[in-house]
């Protein structure tokens, strides 16, 4: 009897041959600027712990205290029974800090991108997407069920307003490249970029406000 999953071995072998098979690097100890991966001390340029908060003594003490009071986790996803009062408190503080009506905390940048794009766009919209967009943005575009048009990375000639034959006059361009070009000289986060893009998208919901220049990223 043949193995129904035998083809996977061939695909794995092909990935190894193409140097695309990934072995996760194993961290020993804390996520620091200098850290030990696979038993070797290296300068860590791949961490998201930019501000060192994951290893800050006050953060560690607060996390330990919260674990003692609330347990090691919420025990459920937030949409069912896992939204705790401390989640709500955190989001209220973030909203107040950002001077906005409300805030929603995602557990990762990937889910933030995927969830935000899918939430603000629908099947009657069009998305103009950079071919080198992060997988999280691509997933969000697909989940939205919007029409997706992909343009070559950094190609200003192809980056134009959709023709009137588009299924909707409402369109958006969720790409970190636009954020980077628009925020040269300052540190920018995915959430900041996405907020700016959503703001532009909201203006473009009024067809009269749309133009190619509205969406062309500076420097492209």
Angle at 196 between CA 87 and CA 118, to 5 degrees: 60
25 band by pLDDT with thresholds 50, 70 and 90: very high
Report CA-CA distances (Å) from 127 to 8, 79, 86. 34, 27, 35
Angle at 142 between CA 158 and CA 176, to 5 degrees: 55
Q: How many CA atoms lie within 13 A of 65 on its CB side?
A: 7
Structure tokens at 135: 């997988």
Q: Is the pLDDT of residue 191 over 70?
A: no
Q: How many CB atoms lie within 10 A of CB 129?
A: 21
Identify which has the larger pLDDT, 64 or 186. 64
Task: State the Cα–Cα distance between residues 55 and 93, nearest whole angstrom.
Answer: 22
Task: State the Cα–Cα distance between residues 102 and 94, nearest whole angstrom.
Answer: 8
Task: State the Cα–Cα distance between residues 4 and 18, nearest whole angstrom.
Answer: 24
Identify which has the larger pLDDT, 90 or 108. 90
Task: Give Rg (Cα) of the chain.
Answer: 22
122-172 confidence digits (pLDDT tens): 888 888 888 888 888 889 889 999 888 888 887 766 665 555 444 444 555
53-80 confidence digits (pLDDT tens): 999 999 999 999 999 999 998 999 888 9
Question: What does the pLDDT read at residue 209?
Answer: 44
Question: What does the pLDDT read at residue 172?
Answer: 57
* Selection from 200, 193, 190 nearest residue 161 by Cα: 200
Helix (H) or strand (E) holding 148: strand 147-151
- Once rounded to an integer, what is the mean pLDDT over residues 106-122? 87
Question: What does the pLDDT read at residue 188?
Answer: 38
pTM beyond 0.75: the answer is no
């Amino acid at each position: 009897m043949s193995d129904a999953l035998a083809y996977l071995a061939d695909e794995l072998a092909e990935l190894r041959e193409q140097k695309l098979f990934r072995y996760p690097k194993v961290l020993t100890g804390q996520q620091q600027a200098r850290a030990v991966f696979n038993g070797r001390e290296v300068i860590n340029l791949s961490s998201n712990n930019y501000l060192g908060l994951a290893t800050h003594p006050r953060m560690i003490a607060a996390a330990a205290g919260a674990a003692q009071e609330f347990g090691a986790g919420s025990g459920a996803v937030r949409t069912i029974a896992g939204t705790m009062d401390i989640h709500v408190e955190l989001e209220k503080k973030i909203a107040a800090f950002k001077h906005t009506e409300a805030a929603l905390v995602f557990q990762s940048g990937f889910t933030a991108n995927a969830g935000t794009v899918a939430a603000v766009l629908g099947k009657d919209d069009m998305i103009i997407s950079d071919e080198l967009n992060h997988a999280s943005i691509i997933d969000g575009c697909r989940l939205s069920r919007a029409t997706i048009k992909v343009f070559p990375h950094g190609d200003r000639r192809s980056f134009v307003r959709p023709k009137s034959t588009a299924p909707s006059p409402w369109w958006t361009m969720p790409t970190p490249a636009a954020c980077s070009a628009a925020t040269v000289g300052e540190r920018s986060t995915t959430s900041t970029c996405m907020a700016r893009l959503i703001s532009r998208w909201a203006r473009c919901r009024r067809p009269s406000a749309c133009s190619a220049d509205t969406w062309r990223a500076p420097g492209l």
